[in-house]
Amino acid sequence: MSEGENRQNEALERRVRADARRNLDGLLKAAMEVFATSGVDAPVREIAGKAGVGVGTLYRHFPQRSDLIVAVFRREIDACADDAPVLAAQYPPGEALSRWMQRFVDFVSAKRGLSAALHSGDPAYEPLPAYFDQRLRPALENLLQAAEKPGEIRPGMDAIELLHAVSRLASAGGDDARRMVALLVDGLRYRAGDTQG
């Protein structure tokens, strides 16, 4: 290959058109707003309308409805994961765990439809649980290990399993969700230090 052709090895074949990027951003913004008010089941046309584009344009950027939902939720997951180390540095292990759990509950409760998408089983949403696990599992694992060491909770709890369970409980929303998650965490504490059956 000639050096001229190779300049900027990636992004060689023409950069994305400005209107395309504009519309993609507008669609994400519109979708976030619509999902927040009407829920994730809102008609595609409503989102396209709010973004000021045709449905064809929407489908060019997000080949399936679910792709748009996934794109919107993806960016909401990071902030939650990043809070884990902060709380770990700020509180004793057991309390850091409790607090992050409540933080997580509030997050899932606020995003109506996240839990449903997560547990739908529909392969179209598969990238969402994948990202969810990849990002949140290490966060929770660190908290669990820190609390295991001094014997505050039972050892060997699987982080993914716990994460999924809590996200299910969280979908109830409100104080019920918070109480039930607290109860579940208390389950981790029950007979935590036992060595005999």
Partner DNA sequence: CCATATACGGAACAATGTTCCGTTTATCAA
Partner DNA sequence: TTGATAAACGGAACATTGTTCCGTATATGG
φ, ψ (nearest 5 deg) of residue 125: -95, 0
Tell me: does residue 95 bind a copy of itself (CB under 8 A).
no
Query: Which is nearer to DNA, 74 or 168 (by Cβ)?
Result: 74
Q: What is the DSSP string of 127-148?
A: HHHHHHHHHHHHHHHHHHHHHH
Binding residues for DNA, per CB under 7 A?
13-20, 22-23, 41-45, 52-57, 59-61, 63-66
Q: How many residues bind a copy of itself (CB under 8 A)?
A: 23
* CA gap 11, 175 in Å, rounded: 49
Q: Is 171 in the site for a copy of itself (CB under 8 A)?
A: yes
Interface with a copy of itself (CB under 8 A), residue from 16, 161, 194, 197: 161
Closest to 24 measured CA to CA, from 75, 67, 76, 62: 62
| 179 lies in the site for a copy of itself, by CB under 8 A | yes
Nearest approach, Cβ of residue 11 and DNA (Å): 9
Rounded distance, CA 36 to CA 40, Å? 8
In the bound state with a copy of itself, the residue whose beta carbon lies nearer, of 74 and 189, is 189
Closer Cβ to DNA, 25 or 176, answer by number: 25
- Among 158, 148, 153, which Cα is nearest to 191's? 153
| Contact (Cβ atoms closer than 8 angstroms) between residue 119 and residue 169 | no
Stretch of 58-66, 67-75, 126-134, 170-178 contacting a copy of itself, by CB under 8 A? 170-178
CA nearest 78: which of 144, 131, 146, 30? 131
Whole-number Cα distances in Å, 162 to 81, 94, 96, 123, 185 = 15, 15, 16, 22, 9
The least CB distance from residue 72 to a copy of itself, in Å, is 20
192 residue type, one letter = A
Shorter beta-carbon distance to a copy of itself: residue 89 or 190: 190
- Residue 185's binding partner among DNA, a copy of itself, none (Cβ under 5 to 8 angstroms by kind) is a copy of itself
Asked if 194 is part of the footprint of a copy of itself (rule: CB under 8 A), the reply reads no
Distances in Å between the alpha carbon of 17 and those of 24, 56, 64, 72, 76? 11, 17, 22, 22, 27
- Is residue 135 part of the contact set for a copy of itself (CB under 8 A)? no
Question: Which residues would be at the binding site for a copy of itself (CB under 8 A)?
Answer: 116, 119, 161-162, 164-165, 168-169, 171-172, 176, 179-180, 182-191
